[in-house]
Amino acid sequence: MKRVFSLIFTTFLALSAAAQVSVIPKPNKVEAEEGRFKFDNNTTLFSNEKSSSNLEYLKALLVPATGFSFNTTKEGPADNYIVLDLSEQYGIDPGKENGLPKEGYILDISAKGITIKAADGAGIFYGIQSLLQLMPAVVYSGRSSGHEDWSVAALRIEDSPRFGYRGMMLDVSRTFFDAATVKKYIDWMAYHKINKFHWHLTDDNGWRVEIKKYPLLTSKGAWRGPGEVLSAAFGSGKTRYGGFYTQEQIKDIVAYAAKRHIEIIPEIDLPGHSKAVTASYPNVACDGNDTGLSVQGVGQNVWCVGKEANFHMLENIIKEMVKLFPSKNFHIGGDEVNYTSWDNCPHCQALMKKEGMKEHDELLNYFVRRMEAILEKQGKDMSGWDEILEGGKLSPNSRVYAWRSVAKGIESVTKGQPTIMMPGEYCYFDMKQSKEERGHNWAGIVTLEKSYSLDPIGTAKLSSEQANLIVGVQGALWTELLGWPVRFIDYQTYPRLAAIAEVGWTKPELKEWGEFYNRVVSSHFERMFHMGIAFRVPPPVVKFEQGAVKAELPYPWAVVRYTSDESNPTVHSPVYRGEIITDKAHKFRFATFYRDELVSQVVKPENAEYKYLKPVTTIITSMAENPKFPVKNLVDYKFETYFRSEKKIVAGDYLTYLFDEPVKAKRVTIETGIPNISFYGITEGYAEYSYDGTNYIRGDDFVRGTVVIYPQKAVKAIRLVASDTNDGHILSLQDLRIEE
């Protein structure tokens, strides 16, 4: 009887150990075993690897958190050990039935000790990552935690990635992140078994890599603001904004990443997106008086293809850069070229004629092929955005990053190119994560679930050869909205990168959204917290129904706090315990708190009645309207429609809301910028208001595109005035929010 009981009991323990495996990305095979391994001050480390890098990495995490010394031994210990066992023998070779694929590992935990086996250093490293995730989350904290039970359940994991390329791209041009931040970002990627860092080093708004032969690229091209060659952007306003990495810093970061088994693929974005270059070295641009603008509203930002000297300059830049980046691949951009530059340039037109080209995308292909050749001379393969598929053929080695759609990725492999799937609608972390939240939305709302749902090979009818050309998947963070709030880089990246990590690593048949979400909220939040990531905490869904405000928690144990006076909830606000009957639902605000340190987006009850006044209003303005976003959008009191100017606004530009009848209002909120994005808002300007329509009282300056006015009596008019040239190449305005 006792035996039966203990058998049942140990089976239960083993099952619960399997259930506790909440590793992200999900391992491909887990078997629970009996017992636990307990770490203590006598636990020793042993590695047979030639390089001590993995061992040191593990030790650097374990020692501070546990307080144990983790001495290393010269021979494989018999008991109480962590062994890193690397042998090529464990790998797949043609004569063998079984073996570990590249980056694969076996993690064996028993009561006696822990062994990680792999056929390459990356495999050992990923075994370490899985082990860390099985440990108490404070292991990531880097400091003594007071945690006492340092033990892990016995199990065996046999694991390897689905794709060899699991990447993340970071734009450091629009927002500059210093070397320490980049290293932290790399650390976080490594915790998720991401193995490629695509470093978008240059764009219109800043060149960020030191090139000794062309010092102006960074002495001028890395800075924007008053008196600089680059104008202020994205709210940088009157401060000189920018920065760059020295070659020494780059080498240091590349080495740092390599220790974490992350390859850095540099990108210099060419031939478009190059305002930082053409502003520093004006001869690089086309001649002719082209007034066309790129998608982002930047003029004269394209390398001239007709000037042969440009290719010498590019070759010199590449020669310096390949010394910094050992990656076999080099990304040359190729996206969103403003062709009117070439269309109006005598040199480009002469080249087209000479080469017998008819279409301007053939010039793009000409440029791209020249870049392929320059890189090939340096022993590198070229990579580029999916536009490089246009205008002609590519070398079969050139890798295409499909960003515009899955279809572009399919087109790419159909043409025989190695391809990275990173369609914006799944992989662009500059997209907002819910309707009312900061972020772009041109590729849709990219929720965690949406990112998780990507299958890079998917349902397309691809031959196995074509499917094999899909070498991986990648997340991307473009950073024009990243200047604020603080740590928005963390918020936009996590947990969405955890989803992309699992897309890249885990077999599709093992993926299940609900189960993944459960792992994220029940284990990974706590890990990310100790990793030091200010990740996005999901807000509650709040509704106003039948006279009561009701919040649906994002997960059952979520701490949701609220206020009833329109202020943002704080850690001192009451915790939501159940529906609240009210006739002032519009005054409620809710947010989820994680450990009272991270706060979700603040949400208002859906369908609560907001009592904004809608006075009949005439608009008088100095600004020309974009016919697709006309002035009348400002007086329809539909908050989703808005106004766009045709052009950048400058000092003295104004827009007046003139009310037919003076309006009695407690408060008027003037929000500029695209609704919920605050992009193209007023960066240099103020509001004024008038009680008689003639004499104006000066209100506040716009801060982050917003001003609030508290009138003392009925207002006849409100006016927005630009005090200087604004950052955006256009201006967007929204309807006034007038409260009684």
Beta strands 105-109 and 113-118: pairing type?
Answer: antiparallel
Closer residue to Zn ion in complex, CB, 119/286: 286
DSSP 255-280: HHHHHTT-EEEEEEEESSS-HHHHHH
Size of the site for Zn ion (CB under 5 A): 6
CB of 401 to ligand ACM, least distance (A): 7
Q: Is residue 325 close enough to count as binding ligand ACM by CB under 6 A? A: no
CB of 335 to ligand ACM, least distance (A): 4
Residues whose CB is less than 8 angstroms from the CB of residue 445 and which lie 6 or more positions away in sequence, other chains included: 431, 432, 433, 434, 435
Q: Of 85 and 335, which has the nearer Cβ to ligand ACM?
A: 335
* Nearest distance in Å: CB 454, ligand ACM: 16
Among 102, 347, 550, 587, binds Zn ion (CB under 5 A): 347
In this structure, what token pair is assigned to residue 37? 């391994």
Closest contact distance (angstroms) between CB of 205 and ligand ACM is: 13
Contacts 24+ apart (CB under 8 A), 1-10: 10/34
Among 348, 619, 668, 682, binds Zn ion (CB under 5 A): 348
Task: Give the nearer residue to Zn ion in terms of CB position, either 301 or 419.
Answer: 301
Q: Which of the choices ligand ACM, Zn ion, none does residue 403 contact, using the CB cut-off of 5 to 8 A by kind?
A: ligand ACM
Write each residue from 369 to 408 as x if it is in contact with ligand ACM (CB under 6 A), else as -, in one continuous string: ----------------x-----------------x-----
Instruction: Pick one of ligand ACM, Zn ion, none as the site partner of residue 348 (Cβ within 5 to 8 A by kind).
Output: Zn ion
Residue 103 or 387 with smaller CB distance to ligand ACM: 387
Are 673 and 732 a contacting pair, CB within 8 Å? yes
Q: Of 125 and 403, which CB lies nearer to ligand ACM in the complex structure?
A: 403
Minimum distance from CB of 67 to ligand ACM (Å)? 46
**Looking only at residues 289 through 308 of this chain, which bind Zn ion when binding is defined by CB under 5 A?**
304, 306
DSSP 523: I
Closer of 336 and 625 to ligand ACM (Cβ): 336
Please give the Cα distance from 564 to 589 (Å, whole number).
6
Q: Least distance (Å) from ligand ACM to the CB of residue 680?
A: 18
- Name the residue among 381, 362, 363, 364 with its Cα closest to residue 372: 381
Which residue type does 59 have?
A: K
Among 58, 194, 345, 533, the residue binding Zn ion under the rule CB under 5 A is 345
Half-sphere exposure of 391 (CA within 13 A, CB side): 22
Q: What's the CA gap between 439 and 445, in Å, rounded?
A: 9
Query: Of 651, 653, 639, which is closest to residue 610 (Cα–Cα)?
Result: 639
Which range in 163-171, 225-233, 255-263, 279-287 contacts Zn ion by CB under 5 A?
279-287
Who contacts 420 (Cβ-Cβ below 8 Å, separation ≥6)?
A: 165, 167, 383, 399, 400, 401, 402, 409, 470, 471, 472, 473, 474
Cis omega (within 30 of 0) for bond into 226: no
Give the residue with the Cβ less far from ligand ACM, 205 or 734. Answer: 205
Residue pair 527/515 in contact by the 8 Å Cβ criterion: no
Q: How many residues bind ligand ACM (CB under 6 A)?
A: 4
What residue 286 binds from Zn ion, ligand ACM, none (CB within 5 to 8 A, per partner kind)? Zn ion
Q: Determine how many CB atoms are found less than 10 A away from the CB of residue 606.
A: 12
Q: Which of 108, 120, 335, 372 touches ligand ACM by CB under 6 A?
A: 335
The residue among 391 and 673 lying less far from Zn ion, judged by its C-beta, is 391
Residues in Cβ contact with 296 at an 8 Å cutoff, skipping those fewer than 6 apart: 204, 273, 336, 729
- Chain residue at closest Cβ approach to ligand ACM: 335
Neighbours of 471 (CB within 10 A): 17
Give which of ligand ACM, Zn ion, none residue 335 binds (C-beta under 5 to 8 Å, depending on kind): ligand ACM
Q: Using the minimum distance from each CB to ligand ACM, give the nearer residue, 336 or 362.
A: 336
Query: CB within 8 A of 457, min separation 6: which ones?
Result: 467, 470
Q: Choose, by CB under 6 A, the member of 315, 336, 381, 625 that binds ligand ACM.
A: 336
Residues of this chain that bind Zn ion (CB under 5 A)? 286, 304, 306, 345, 347-348
Residues of this chain that bind ligand ACM (CB under 6 A)? 335-336, 385, 403
